[in-house]
């Protein structure tokens, strides 16, 4: 302490400074101030305790609502099971009646043959007239028996089977919760997947660099774990690395034309490059090292590649009219989905965080389609605001955003009051959007990053 205060011009001892302090107003008012602050602290503590009890009660209410929902689901399942059992029993009874009818016909012919045989035997073998009449009757019965046997032989065996409606189990397995758990209050509340965002403000960022030969057309956006962005500039055949403030810090030239980009690792990404005129379809793998964007390798593929998304080591590639899955580790590829009703029925794609749902934009038919991981269609969304959808992005919380080319808008996919999926417009031309072809949601600051003709627009959202 002496060394610390050696350079002080003057130093006084505490007892000297504190002399007469008991008589000051500050000291005399201290008990009242302590009492007042303790009162405020106690009130704040009581308020927090009351809030905790209220949250506990609301949690119990949520559990009760969940139980009520489960009871309703159980009642629905019980009703469906009862009706299905009734239908099975009706089918079994109907089939049994038809089988028994054939059995009765066989028994009838068999009994008539037996009675005729007994009658002929009783008449004696020496009575030729009786034997002749019996022969005629036998011949007729045998003919009828053969007709019956042929008729029965031509029938397939009756069978019964039960084919469950797969849509029920597929839909249930595709969802994680029975409802949205909404937490409000406190700092940075986490919006649920059905929370509709609103536009707060927007900022324009120019991403044109000196050696660009043409105006920019941003067709793909992704964000790395480091906070940097990679964008695909289709018209200039470039991939550009942006810092967190959207300033271009590095570029990488690629062959014509980059259409989309997605992260594949902490500082790695893959870009979809497609040129139908030259029949060139490639995936370029990239890595960021020391602030530089570097291309590490390229693979050629046998189909178009306009959109790309990554999940758990698999690349999902939108080929225009089909969706393909490519495994990075073993290089195996398979077609997951196909739609030949238009030229661009599989334009772009995005994967849900759990990998169970694949969203594709159907540009030709103005649709957003959801597939399961096996390629079966889960839902198809159409809406007047979903006109010429291009890019689709799914956030880590499950929010779905789609950019619509001609309307110059970005829409959010939400659930309507009847539980079905619909869309709600978020942005429009007032946010300086011009033919938006890329969209990305930055969850760190609730920002929608939209790529379009010439620039990037950062749209700040609020829940």
Give 31's Cβ-side CA count (13 Å radius): 2
- How remote is the C-alpha of 68 from its chain's centroid? 27
Instruction: Kindly report, residue by residue over 400-450, the tens digit of the pLDDT.
Output: 999 998 888 899 998 766 667 787 888 766 667 778 899 999 887 888 999
pLDDT of res. 191: 62
Output the CA–CA distances (angstroms, integers) from residue 272 to 21, 40, 264, in the order listed. Answer: 77, 60, 13
Instruction: Tell me the C-alpha distance between 214 and 461, whole Å.
Output: 31
pTM: 0.61
Cβ–Cβ contacts within 10 Å for residue 458, how many? 18
Q: DSSP secondary-structure letter at 346?
A: B
CB 377 within 8 A of CB 371: yes
pLDDT at 174 over 80: no
Instruction: Kindly report, residue by residue over 343-394, the tens digit of the pLDDT.
Output: 999 999 999 988 899 999 999 999 999 999 899 999 999 998 899 999 999 9
Burial 224-242 (b: 16+ CB within 10 A, else e): beeebbbbbbbbbbbbbbb
């Amino acid at each position: 302490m002496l060394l610390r205060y050696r350079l002080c011009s003057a130093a006084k001892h505490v007892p000297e400074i504190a002399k007469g302090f008991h008589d000051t107003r500050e000291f005399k008012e201290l008990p009242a101030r302590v009492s007042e602050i303790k009162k405020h602290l106690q009130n704040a503590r009581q308020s927090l305790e009351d809030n905790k009890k209220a949250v506990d009660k609301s949690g119990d209410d949520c559990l009760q609502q969940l139980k009520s929902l489960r009871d309703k689901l159980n009642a629905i399942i019980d009703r469906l099971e009862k009706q299905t059992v009734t239908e099975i029993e009706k089918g079994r009874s109907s089939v049994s009646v038809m089988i028994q009818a054939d059995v009765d016909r066989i028994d009838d012919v068999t009994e008539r043959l037996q009675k005729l045989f007994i009658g002929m035997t009783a008449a004696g073998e020496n009575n030729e007239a009786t034997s002749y009449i019996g022969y005629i009757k036998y011949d007729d019965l045998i003919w009828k028996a053969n007709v019956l046997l042929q008729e029965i032989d031509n029938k397939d065996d009756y069978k019964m089977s039960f084919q469950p409606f797969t849509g029920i189990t597929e839909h249930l397995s595709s969802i994680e919760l029975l409802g949205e758990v909404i937490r409000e209050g406190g700092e940075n509340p986490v919006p649920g997947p059905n929370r509709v965002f609103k536009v707060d403000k927007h900022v324009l960022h120019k991403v044109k660099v000196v050696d660009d030969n043409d105006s920019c057309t941003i067709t793909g956006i992704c964000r790395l774990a480091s906070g940097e962005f990679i964008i695909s500039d289709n018209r200039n055949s470039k991939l550009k690395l942006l810092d967190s403030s959207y300033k271009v810090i590095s570029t990488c030239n690629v062959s014509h034309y980059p259409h989309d980009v997605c992260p594949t690792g902490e500082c790695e990404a893959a870009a979809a490059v497609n040129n139908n005129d030259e029949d060139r379809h490639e995936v370029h793998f990239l890595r960021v090292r020391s602030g530089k964007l570097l291309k590490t390798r390229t693979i050629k593929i046998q189909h178009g590649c306009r959109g790309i998304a990554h999940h758990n080591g698999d690349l999902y590639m939108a080929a225009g009219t089909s969706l393909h899955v490519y495994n990075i580790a073993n290089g195996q590829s398979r077609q997951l989905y196909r739609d030949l009703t238009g030229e661009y029925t599989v334009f772009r794609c995005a994967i849900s965080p759990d990998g169970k749902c694949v969203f594709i934009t159907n540009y030709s038919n103005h649709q957003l389609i959801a597939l399961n991981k096996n390629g079966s269609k889960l839902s198809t969304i159409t809406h007047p605001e979903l006109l010429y959808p291009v890019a689709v992005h799914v956030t880590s919380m499950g929010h779905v955003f789609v950019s619509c080319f001609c309307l110059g808008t970005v829409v959010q996919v939400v659930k309507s009051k009847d539980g079905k999926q619909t869309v709600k417009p978020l942005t429009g031309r007032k946010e300086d959007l011009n033919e938006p072809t890329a969209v990305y949601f930055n969850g760190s600051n609730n920002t929608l990053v939209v790529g379009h003709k010439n620039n990037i627009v950062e749209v700040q959202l609020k829940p």
